[in-house]
Amino acid sequence: MAELYSTGLTFIRASTFCRTGRFLSLGWNTDSKFYNPVTQTWTDLAMTNYCCMRVYGTSVLLPLTQANNWRPTVMILGGAPRTPDNNGTLQDATNTTELIDLSANQPQWVYGPAMDRARVDLNATILPSGKVLVSGGSSKNEVATINSMTTELYDPVRTVSVRARWQPRC
């Protein structure tokens, strides 16, 4: 879904369409919500664990596979908090990730494996293998001299049997 703005709500950077017909909306704040386009209502879902906003972070809906019992799981990655005075300046990026299982009775965000590099303005792509490829970004927003020229690969299947971890590439 394209970026969406709604009066009185946070700017929404990422949305995932759910089979229930609702959208999981992830803003820059620590809250996440479901949006029902039929009733045009918002429902609170869960708060993230990371202390701060994830400005210019990203998210992916992990593949639904037999290995994860077909559970719809969303991963949020990276981003950077604003300065305490909220004057628009971003602090250094985070390398943290979080996961939420949307099929749980009471979905909650849990920390996922940390990326090797902190990233803001990053890209996350689901590959045909089901792995997540993370590329681009930098440790500080819009500072070209510290951009990340490396990629990382995450295998969500390994979360079932072995502690998942990011594998640096290139």
Evaluate whether residue 3 is within a structural domain: no
- Residue 6 pLDDT: 43
Evaluate whether residue 129 is within a structural domain: yes
Q: 104-127 pLDDT, tens per residue?
A: 889 999 999 999 889 988 999 999
Evaluate whether residue 116 is within a structural domain: yes
Evaluate whether residue 5 is within a structural domain: no
- Band (3; pLDDT cuts 50, 70, 90): very low
What is the pTM (predicted TM-score) of this model?
A: 0.78
Domain harbouring 72, CATH code: 2.130.10.80
Residue type for position 79: G
- Band (140; pLDDT cuts 50, 70, 90): confident
Evaluate whether residue 7 is within a structural domain: no
Q: Calculate mean pLDDT across residues 1-12.
A: 41
Mean residue pLDDT of the chain comes to 77
Evaluate whether residue 2 is within a structural domain: no
- Residue 110 pLDDT: 94
Instruction: Report how many domains make up the chain.
Output: 1
Evaluate whether residue 114 is within a structural domain: yes
Instruction: Pick the more confident residue, 24 or 154.
Output: 154
Distance CA 14, CA 2 (A): 8
Q: 90: domain range?
A: 12-169
Q: 82-99 pLDDT, tens per residue?
A: 766 566 677 888 999 999
Evaluate whether residue 6 is within a structural domain: no
